[in-house]
Amino acid sequence: MGFIRHFLIALQFFTRIPVTGRLAGWVGYTPAMLRASAAHFPGVGWVVGALTALVFWAWMQALVAQPAAPWVAAVLSTAFSVWLTGAFHEDGLADTADALGGAVSRERALEIMKDSRIGSYGAIALVLALLTKVLLLGLLVQAGGALATAWALFAAHVSSRLLPLLVIATLPHVGDTPRSKSKPLADGIDAAGLLAGLLWWALAMMLLAVAAPAWPWFAAVLGAFLGFLWMWRLLARRLQGFTGDGLGATQQLAELGFYLGLAVGLGGRFGSGS
């Protein structure tokens, strides 16, 4: 029951999906439960990824035979995922880009992250990230069709939400803890929490092996991991730790890395539609 309660707290914290009424009373709340819910970040990826994939696939079916269908479906499903999460991670990417884009001190970078306004670095990073995501999804449709791309969407959301847990486990929290979006995560994550996150991820990978066995999922996971490593190195070098915005940026780069790695792995299949 504790597993389910922690998952529902994570779902409410990281998405717009409400947990209210009698269900909220049953779930309960304590600061310790909120900290424990971080382990279910990949579980939230199951929900966000599955719903986003369903939206993508539905639009592909509705726009069948239209040349621009992959791009339209990619835009609308991406917009849906942003709405479902309240742009939680995209906001983190923009704030991190503003803070670390220029040559400023660690203290100044942390101050910039607290500013709710978006700067030029943040705006550019956000536009490029969304544009790249849409284009990569369109390319994946060309390589393997709508259904396999929908599975890639699902897997990317799960995988990209596992990797921020490694940031939490290996770097100290350096944000303005009393007001930080990552306050529940500031105390770190234990081995049991990492194991729960890995379990969510492993089950998703098992589904992929059955649903689309011909696709190079290893290349996709490698791409996500490389995106995580780049962000981890940047946070460690510039901030000597992580903030909530840094976790959001890690999720976004890992998701993009997943699609890019998959596209590179599929290589010669582009244009064949096979």
Tokens representing 245 are 């915005």
Considering only CA atoms, which of 63, 29, 255 is closest in space to residue 159? 255
Q: In angstroms, rounded to a whole number, what is the distance separating the alpha carbons of residues 117 and 66?
A: 39
Q: In angstroms, rounded to a whole number, what is the distance separating the alpha carbons of residues 89 and 14?
A: 9
pLDDT of residue 5: 85
Q: In angstroms, rounded to a whole number, what is the distance separating the alpha carbons of residues 199 and 203?
A: 6
State the chain's mean pLDDT as an integer.
90
Contact 254, 226 (CB under 8 A): no
Q: In angstroms, rounded to a whole number, what is the distance separating the alpha carbons of residues 99 and 81?
A: 25
pLDDT of residue 274: 43
Q: In angstroms, rounded to a whole number, what is the distance separating the alpha carbons of residues 151 and 209?
A: 10
pLDDT of residue 23: 79
Q: Where are the domains of the chain?
A: 41-269
10-residue block means of pLDDT along the chain (274 residues)? 82 87 77 82 96 97 91 97 95 94 89 89 96 96 91 97 95 73 64 92 95 92 97 95 94 98 84 49
SS3 17: coil
pLDDT of residue 238: 94
Q: In angstroms, rounded to a whole number, what is the distance separating the alpha carbons of residues 45 and 254?
A: 13
SS3 125: helix
Q: In angstroms, rounded to a whole number, what is the distance separating the alpha carbons of residues 7 and 37?
A: 6
Contact 129, 137 (CB under 8 A): no
Considering only CA atoms, which of 226, 259, 227, 261 is closest in space to residue 141? 259
Cα 259 to chain center, whole Å?
A: 12
Q: In angstroms, rounded to a whole number, what is the distance separating the alpha carbons of residues 261 and 50?
A: 20
> Cα-flanking dihedrals φ and ψ of residue 103, to 5°?
-90, 75
Contact 217, 208 (CB under 8 A): yes
> Cα-flanking dihedrals φ and ψ of residue 241, to 5°?
165, -170
SS3 151: helix
SS3 198: helix
For tokens 């969407």, name the residue. 153
pLDDT of residue 156: 98
